[in-house]
Amino acid sequence: MLWRLRLPTALPLLLAGMRVSTVRSVIVAIVTEMLGAHGGLGWVIYQAVLQIDFVQVWSAIFVASAASLAFFGLVGFLERKILFWR
């Protein structure tokens, strides 16, 4: 009953939640790197703001946006493959 009825019915909502959570997880990772890490994209943004290097800030934001869009696209691709009936 679980595998034939409930899971296929819940899959659209589960995958929609995954689409939203991928973008938010990238944001959370960057913010936590800003607050306490000594490396990573958030740390690069934080150090560039302290040095008033806004070209580096915007390039790091562009890389973060590209990574977020890549994760979103990957989940969208998986959704199209898994939910073949939609």
Instruction: Give the tens place of pLDDT for each residue, 21-42.
Output: 998 999 999 999 999 888 899 9
Q: What are phi and psi of 69, to 5 degrees?
A: -65, -35
pLDDT value of residue 42:
92
DSSP-assigned states of every residue in 7-66: HHHHHHHHHHHHHHHHHHHHHHHHHHHHHH-SSSHHHHHHHHHHTT-HHHHHHHHHHHHH
Rounded to whole angstroms, the Cα distance separating 27 from 69 reads 12
Report whether 13 contacts 69 (CB < 8 A): no
Q: Among 69, 82, 78, 81, which Cα is nearest to 22's?
A: 69
pLDDT at 20 over 80: yes
